[in-house]
Amino acid sequence: MSRRVAITGNEAAAEAMRQINPDVVAAYPITPATEIVQIFADFVANGDVDTEFVAVESEHSAMSATIGASAAGARAMTATASQGLALMWEMLYIAAGLRLPIVAPIVNRALSAPINIHCDHSDTMGARDSGWIQIYSEDAQEAYDNIIQAVRIAEHPDIKLPCMVTMDGFIVSHGMGNAELLDDDVVQKFIGEYKPEHYLLDVDNPITVGALDFSDWYFEHRRQLADAHTRVKDVVLQIAKEFKEISGREYKLFDAYRLDDAEVAIVVINSAAGTAKTVVDQLREKGLKVGLLKIRLFRPFPYEEISEALAGVKAVAVLDRADSLSLMGGPLYIDLRAAMYDAPGPRVKMVNYIYGLGGRDINMEQIAGVYDDLFEIAKTGEIKQAVTYLGVRE
């Protein structure tokens, strides 16, 4: 029987990890992800898992040890946030390049400087080209569900890629919410036993991992990495379908909320989607045709499906909780504009709002104001300002 509980995002992530019962976890403390590791260390200390836990001396070593464990043939996990993810940066590319199916919950937090412990998406957006699959989660329930699904996605024989599952720092990681947790045996049956094809500890069949490629092979291996990403979408949908059978909860590549007949829409990632959905409901009650698209799979980017979903909309606002400093807007906006370039029908007007950096709250009035702006753009066909910093002292 599944359990309905009040739980924080960090607790939910740790609980998913307990139920996954990985062979190896190597991790290092960092706010606001520390709790995941602490709770998991308790599981290890109390014999609730079989996992060998490595309390490493840095996030660089956390990812390095996780890579070593995964290459050795173990199901291996880690968790981190912000500067920790930044310190792992070199190793993120290597985990993906070596095609190791590592799963890592990441708690989104701003990057220094100035130092700040609160939520924005600079950390994982900075890792978006690393070759990792990125799945974003609105709340504790989604984080829990996504972490469990990520194991199947990462280890799928057509994929073999690392996968990070993100949630918003403090807002979700420390915020208490309702969630329904699956039974241990249901999770175990769902993820199955990890059976790697080639691994270091298969000493009778020695392999060399991490060989040197010159210009005669590097390009082919990077091309294979891109090729694996082309197969991710289908696998994500297939695993989501299987997950619905055990949980009753439905996941897709993204969440289209009251979007079917929407004239204007907001595209958003993670916890702000919850606030925005409430605004959508309120405006709908007033008869306004507003909708929302919440990103789930960000890497690889399901651009065809997203552009199709937004094709009939007159004006779209993309909310970015990170800046690219390209002066063309945040990373999500830039990707979405590129995605919409080839969308069928008349060109959709698109604007960008960069919000919530360093944990600055975004409220319902601000989101309602964005919808007001969108209606104005839809009416006049004019964009006065493409990129707006929302809720900042200018």
Partner 1 sequence: MATLKELSMREDLLCGGHRACAGCAAPIAIRQALMAVDPESSDVVVGCATGCLEVTTTIYPYTAWRVPFIHSAFENSAATVSGVETAYRALKKKGKIDRDIKFMAFGGDGGTYDIGLQSLSGAMERGHNMLYICYDNQAYMNTGIQRSSATPKGASTTTSPAGSAIPAGKKQIRKDLTQIMVAHGIPYAAQASPSNWRDFTRKVEKALEVDGPAFINVLSPCRLGWRYAPEETIELARLAVNTCAWPLYEVENGVVKINYKPKDKPPVAEWLKKQGRFRHLFKPGNEALLEEIQEDVDRNWNKLLALEAMG
Task: Using CB under 8 A, list all residues that contact partner 1.
Answer: 23-24, 26, 50-52, 54-58, 60-61, 64-74, 76, 90-91, 94, 98, 200-203, 206-214, 217
Minimum Å distance from CB 71 to partner 1? 5
Q: Which residue number, 218 or 341, has a Cβ lying nearer to partner 1?
A: 218
Q: What is the DSSP letter of 296?
A: S
Element holding 215 (H helix, E strand): none
Return d(Cα 391, Cα 365) in angstroms, integer: 11
Give me the least distance between CB of 357 and partner 1, in Å please.
31
What is the total residue count of the chain? Answer: 394
Task: Count CB neighbours of 389 within 10 A.
Answer: 14
Q: Identify which of residues 102 and 159 has a Cβ nearer to partner 1 in the complex.
A: 102
Beta carbon nearer to partner 1, 64 or 134? 64
Report, in Å, the least distance between residue 361 CB and partner 1. 38
- CB within 8 A of 148, min separation 6: which ones? 16, 19, 20, 182, 187, 190, 191, 243
Which residues, including other chains, have CB under 8 Å from residue 54's CB and lie 6 or more apart? 24, 25, 26, 27, 62, 65
- Please identify, using beta-carbon distances, which residue of 63 and 179 lies nearer to partner 1: 63
Residue type, 39: I
Q: Report, in Å, the least distance between residue 261 CB and partner 1.
A: 51
Q: Judged by CB, which is closer to partner 1: 46, or 208?
A: 208
CB of 97 to partner 1, least distance (A): 10
Please report, for residues 265, 280, 298, 356, the alpha-carbon distance to residue 320 in angstroms, rounded to integers and kept in the order given.
14, 18, 13, 8
Do the Cβ atoms of 297 and 237 come closer than 8 Å?
A: no
Give me the least distance between CB of 207 and partner 1, in Å please: 6
Residue 151 CB, shortest distance to partner 1, in Å, is 16
Least distance from partner 1 to the Cβ atom of residue 208, Å: 4
CB of 34 to partner 1, least distance (A): 18
Backbone angles phi, psi at 137, to 5 degrees: -130, 135
Cβ 195 to partner 1, closest distance in Å?
10
Taking the least distance from each CB to partner 1, the nearer of 199 and 389 is 199
Other Cβ atoms closer than 10 A to 160: 17
Q: Which is nearer to partner 1, 64 or 271 (CB)?
A: 64
C-alpha span between 46 and 41 (Å, rounded): 9
CB nearer to partner 1: pick between 200 and 246: 200
Q: Which is nearer to partner 1, 104 or 135 (CB)?
A: 104
Assigned token pair, 114 = 């100035």
Nearest Cα neighbor of 273 from 364, 175, 349 is 364
C-alpha to C-alpha distance for 119 and 81, rounded to whole angstroms: 10
Q: Quick one: tokens of 29? A: 């403390």
* Residue 387 and residue 331 in contact, taking contact as beta carbons nearer than 8 Å: no
Nearer CB in complex with partner 1: 73/369: 73
Pairing of strands 3-8, 176-181: antiparallel
Rounded to 5 degrees, φ, ψ at 79 are: -150, 145
Contact 247, 145 (CB under 8 A): yes
